Every structure is written in C-alpha cells, then in structure tokens.
Amino acid sequence: MATFGIGQLAQRAGVAIDTVRYYERNGLLPPSGRLASGYRRYGDIELKRLRFIRRAKVLGFTLEDIRGLLSLSDEQNVAEVRTAAQGKLADIEQRIAELERVRDGLRRLIAACPGHGRADACPILNALTQEETR
C-alpha cells in the first residue's frame, strides 16, 4: 500500500491541504496514522474517501448529507444510499423550478422597464418595494 503526506493526498484528490484538514476536523476523513515525527501519513483508503467527499460536494450534497452517505457506504446499505440520492435530486429539481420562476419574473420586469424616466415609475424598483400578497 502506498503512503503519502497531506500535500500529496490533497493533490491527488484535487483539493487544497486546508480542505483535507477541514474534513478531518469535521469527522469526514478519519485521522490517519502518524510517523514517529508526528507527520500524518495517508493511503489509498483516505484518497478514495476524499474523492468521494469532493464528488458528493460537486453533486450538491451538504457535509451532513455526505456524513450520512459515508455511514451508509460503510454499512453497505445501497437502498438507503439510493433513497438519499433521490431526496437530493428532488431538492435540486425544486430549487431549479424556483430559479426558473425567478428568472421568468425578472425577464418580465426587464421587458416592462423602458430603461429611462423617473425611478418611481420603474417597474423593477416598484416590484421590489411592493408588499407581498399571498
């Protein structure tokens, strides 16, 4: 098994050294073994776990989500991993739908704004200062 220092681990996983330390502090990356000199040593297991964390972050999982996925991964509970991924997908789809509503509303406001005149006649400013009615 190959072992390497924190700099090599970070480089191989595509993250900063501070990110490795952050994940260690937050319990996502268990402490590695140490040499007699006190330096940490990492191996393929830590590299695999760090890549897992990085990729899960890219997919939108929070650190708490990732902690749960790692726990499920350790338990080999594929059904719960799938359920967690489905939940994350539903959350992302809901956020996309909300962003699309915001985009469409902003497009309407921009189209209604002549781009000149008095500020109190600006449809964008007026929309932002109106009270919400639900």
Q: What is the pLDDT of residues 100-112, one digit of tens each?
A: 999 998 999 899 8
pLDDT in tens, 39-55: 788 888 899 999 999 99
Is 89 a member of any domain? no
β-bridge partners, 40: 34
132 pLDDT above the threshold of 70: no
CA torsion sign, 26 to 19 to 70 to 89? positive
The CATH number covering residue 15 comes to 1.10.1660.10
Is 103 a member of any domain? no
Q: Which residue range forms the structural domain that includes residue 24?
A: 1-60
What is the number of structural domains in the chain?
Answer: 1
**CB 29: neighbour CB atoms within 10 A?**
22
pLDDT value, residue 72? 80
99 pLDDT above the threshold of 80: yes
133 pLDDT above the threshold of 70: no
Is 40 a member of any domain? yes
Is 119 a member of any domain? no
Q: What is the mean pLDDT of residues 8-13?
A: 94
Kind plus residue range of the DSSP H or E element containing 107: helix 78-112
Q: What is the mean pLDDT of residues 109-134?
A: 82
Is 21 a member of any domain? yes
17 pLDDT above the threshold of 90: yes
Distance CA 112, CA 24 (A): 52
Q: Is 4 left (phi over 0), alpha (psi -120 to 50) or beta?
A: beta
Q: Is 115 left (phi over 0), alpha (psi -120 to 50) or beta?
A: left
Is 29 a member of any domain? yes
Is 105 a member of any domain? no
Is 77 a member of any domain? no
